[in-house]
Amino acid sequence: AQSVAQPEDQVNVAEGNPLTVKCTYSVSGNPYLFWYVQYPNRGLQFLLKYITGDNLVKGSYGFEAEFNKSQTSFHLKKPSALVSDSALYFCAVRALNRDDKIIFGKGTRLHILP
């Protein structure tokens, strides 16, 4: 069965420092991987995705993510955090098989400290 794990419930980073939000997945076959962000009192917004090709994917608001097939990871990164990056981040996976359901992780709350 496919699954997504976000091992950290919360990540605290000082403003200006690099940030990483971790995500690992388990699927059979090649995955499509996504990151979504949820700001307070808002729905989820798409940040970036990996389908194929370059393992480093760039997305909105200066975020990027690196697909690592051997480690089955898709960590979200940003070189310099902003206070406005504080939000709830969800990793998601869709496997290319008969069951094309998208599975979301439990979310990681990112706090950027001024």
Partner 1 sequence: EAQVTQNPRYLITVTGKKLTVTCSQNMNHEYMSWYRQDPGLGLRQIYYSMNVEVTDKGDVPEGYKVSRKEKRNFPLILESPSPNQTSLYFCASGRGPQVRGDTQYFGPGTRLTVL
Nearest to residue 6, comparing CAs of 21, 28, 27? 21
Structure tokens at 57: 């994917």
Task: Give phi and psi for 9, each to the nearest 5.
Answer: -70, -35
Nearer to partner 1, 63 or 90 (CB): 90
Q: How far is the CB of 72 from partner 1 (least distance, A)?
A: 18
Amino acid (1-letter code) at residue 63: F
Which residues of this protein are in contact with partner 1, per CB under 8 A? 9, 32, 34, 36, 41-46, 49, 51, 90, 94, 100-102, 104-107
Residues 56, 75: Cα–Cα separation, whole Å: 10
Q: How far is the CB of 17 from partner 1 (least distance, A)?
A: 26
Nearer to partner 1, 42 or 58 (CB): 42
Q: How far is the CB of 70 from partner 1 (least distance, A)?
A: 22
